[in-house]
Chains A and B, each alone.
Chain A
Amino acid sequence: MLVGAFACPHTPQLLARPGTEDRDLVLRVHAAFARVKRRLEACRADAIAIVAGDHVEAFFLDAVPALAVYVGTECAGTFGRYRYRFPIHEPLARSIVEAGIERGFDLFYTQQAPLDYAFYVPLHFTMPEPAVPIVPLHVNVYLPPQPTPRRCYEWGKALGEILRARPERVVLMASGGMSHFPGTDRYSSPEFDYDRRLLDALAAGEGRQLAAVTGEELDKMGNIELRTWATLLGAVGDVKADVYCYEPSWHHGNAVVEWPV
């Protein structure tokens, strides 16, 4: 069953805390992460299914999956001095691949791939105690052509049905967003107004709006990663989002959000 749904940023500066960042802002996002952690404990989750866009870490140009599921026994990765490793809830991961393919989604799966920091950063801050296994779900966001927001939403709808039919208590988490433009001339000028308008729509229970935007619009608004949110929104439907925080830093719109399930 699905017992919770959250979106969290994975901005690496929230973890690495360089001197370029506004300390108070970072700590406010950490406080919102702490709220998510308490909620995960209250949900008594058995597993976290986390949707993130691999940042060309597990999947380079040798093979570029649009949608992928990690079905190994565990997964691990590194980011700077951080070394991380998580057990995978293998029966749940396998059922997602099998039921997803049965429903017409040609999922890629891997039993051994490095885990990107996009998965790690939110889990670093929100993993409940005691810790639970995860199922990493990849959506291609960085290597065009990416799946359309519509396709992500449809996959999320199927994913939500699959999770609701499972015996485990599963929390669905979308990692990423909001507006940021790493590696481009726009790095220091994200589209914060776009983020705020979208958050207003989500708070009003209009999640389906994100299924209707084009990939081109997401690129233009620095929001290619919102494909992970579109996936989550497909699973939760048009319910009203509870926005824990929206913290625009000099390079990144950081939002932490919960949806009722």
Chain B
Amino acid sequence: MTEELHYRFPPAAAYRLNRCLFALKSDDGFRARFLKDAAAALREHALSDEDAAAIARGDRDGLLARGAHPYLVFMADLRLRMEREPVAFEFF
């Protein structure tokens, strides 16, 4: 029996969700808008209410269940933390 892979084919239904996570990870302007007003920024991506709520909550398990790519969830979160807590980096 094939075990479940850690990194699976991203379902096409989750394209917008992954697009939004990609923007949080890689688009400095979008990340800044998200940190200023998350709800307004999320509207730019025309997500479903459930997807938008999962991103706003930073609900990793919920995002994965909705088809988000694990790496995008991980790095979007890390990049947000690097912005929110810059003093936690360049620690040594």
Contact = CB atoms under 8 A, between A and B. Distances in A.
Interface of A: 12, 16-19, 21, 23, 26, 55-57, 60-61, 78, 80-81, 114, 142-145, 181-184, 186-187, 216, 219-220, 222, 224
Dominant SS at the A interface? loop
A55 B5 contact: no
Given A56-B25, A61-B19, A145 B9 contact: yes
A144 B7 contact: yes
B22 A219 contact: no
B8 A144 contact: yes
A85 B13 CA distance: 35
A238 to B, nearest CB: 29
Contacts of A56: 22, 25-26, 69, 71-72
A186 B10 CA distance: 19
A184 B70 contact: yes
A165 B84 CA distance: 50
A55 B60 CA distance: 18
Given A60-B22, A182-B70, A18 B89 contact: yes
B75 A23 contact: no
Given A17-B92, A23-B91, A142-B69, 15 more contacts: A16-B89, A16-B90, A55-B75, A56-B72, A61-B19, A80-B82, A143-B7, A143-B10, A183-B70, A183-B75, A184-B6, A184-B70, A219-B6, A219-B7, A220-B5
14 contacts: A17-B90, A18-B89, A19-B88, A23-B92, A56-B25, A56-B72, A60-B22, A78-B28, A114-B26, A142-B71, A183-B64, A183-B70, A219-B5, A220-B3
A230 B48 CA distance: 41
Contacts of A55: 71, 75
Contacts of A216: 2-3, 5
Contacts of A219: 5-7
Contacts of A143: 7, 10, 69
B6 A222 contact: yes
